[in-house]
Chain A
Amino acid sequence: MNTVLSRANSLFAFSLSVMAFLTFGCFITTAFKDRSVPVNIHISRVMLKNVDDFTGPRERSDLGFVTFDITADLNPIFDWNVKQLFLYLSAEYATKNNALNQVVLWDKIILRGENTNLSLKDMKSKYFFFDDGSGLRGNKNITLTLSWNVVPNAGILPLVTGSGHISVPFPDSYEMSKNY
Chain B
Amino acid sequence: MMMLKNLPFVNSINTHMDYKGQKLAEQIFQSIIVASAVAGFIYGFIVEQFGWTVYIVLAGFALSCLLTLPPWPVFRRHPLKWQPSVEAPAETREKQPESVKKSKKHK
Binding site for B on A (CB under 8 A): 1-5, 7-8, 10-12, 14-15, 18-19, 21-23, 25-26, 29, 78-81, 153
Contact = CB atoms under 8 A, between A and B. Distances in A.
Majority DSSP secondary structure for residues of B touching A = helix
Contacts of B1: 5
Given A2-B17, A18-B37, A7 B30 contact: no
B50 A3 contact: no
Interface residues of B, number: 31
Interface string B67-91: 0111100000000000000000000
Contacts of B47: 80
Nearest to A21: B37
Contacts of A19: 37, 54, 57
Interface of B: 1, 15-17, 22, 25-26, 29-30, 33-34, 37, 40-41, 44-45, 47-50, 53-54, 57, 60-61, 64-65, 68-71
18 contacts: A1-B25, A1-B26, A3-B16, A5-B1, A7-B25, A11-B69, A12-B61, A18-B37, A19-B37, A19-B54, A19-B57, A21-B37, A22-B37, A22-B53, A26-B53, A29-B45, A80-B44, A80-B50
Contact of A14 (B22, B30, B45): B30
B65 A80 contact: no
Given A1-B22, A4-B15, A7-B69, A14 B33 contact: yes
Majority DSSP secondary structure for residues of A touching B = helix
A22 B41 contact: yes
Nearest to B53: A22
Contact of B22 (A2, A21, A26, A80): A2
Given A22-B57, A79-B48, A11 B29 contact: yes
Contacts of B70: 4
A23 B25 CA distance: 26
Contacts of A5: 1
Contacts of B53: 22, 26
